[in-house]
A and B are shown apart, each in its own frame.
Chain A
């Protein structure tokens, strides 16, 4: 089961990529674990998570084709 993960702002300094496709994660917690294994510096980073453009504040199930965004604190304006 694949989901697309997209990165923004200072997170891209860690991932060096704007997006990756991750397979086999059933929920957000397991996805974050997988991402930290791939990008260890993410563990110390503060960010918000959005699934399909909606902010999520707790663990929730993922489904095939979801887009998960990792967003550091906003700094527009």
Chain B
């Protein structure tokens, strides 16, 4: 499996918008690609108990994420006709309005890139041992829950 990579998905702090632009640019050399699909997760200023979320602090079981991600990656390349797939998730503190998740799938035709991107976002939230702690204006904290 030449597409199987075990590189870490983690980025310390927010994912810079410039990285997203640079990653798109890098793919111009891969001329068999006809479609990209991108999902970006952004920290939302939720209101909790009359206070507002100002940041989320992420922690993870990094070794297990890497192992799990290798399996997931293999399953996705078997299921979808993808040219490539890149995933980045923040660790540490990410402020409201900043990007914490970047999923980038590419394929010859749009359907595979779109479907794989959507399924990957759901898979990340459900299957990867990552936790977010919401930090509020009054410095109180609430452990984030995924729906």
Interface of A with B (CB < 8 Å)?
A: 6, 8-10, 13, 50, 53, 69, 71-77
Contacts and interface: CB of A to CB of B under 8 A. Distances in A.
Interface residues of B, number: 26
Main secondary structure, interface of A, reads loop
A76 B132 contact: yes
Contact of A74 (B100, B121, B133, B146): B146
Nearest to B63: A53
Interface of B: 41, 58-61, 63-64, 67, 89, 100-101, 121, 124-133, 143-146
Contact of B146 (A6, A8, A10, A75): A75
Best-surrounded residue of A6, A75, A77 (most CB of chain B within 10 A): A77
11 contacts: A8-B129, A9-B143, A53-B67, A74-B126, A74-B131, A75-B125, A75-B130, A75-B145, A76-B89, A76-B124, A77-B124
Given A6-B61, A50-B64, A75 B143 contact: yes
A70 to B, nearest CB: 10
Nearest to A12: B59
A6 B131 CA distance: 14
Contacts of A10: 131, 143
Contacts of A9: 59, 131, 133, 143
Given A8-B61, A53-B64, A69-B64, A75 B131 contact: yes
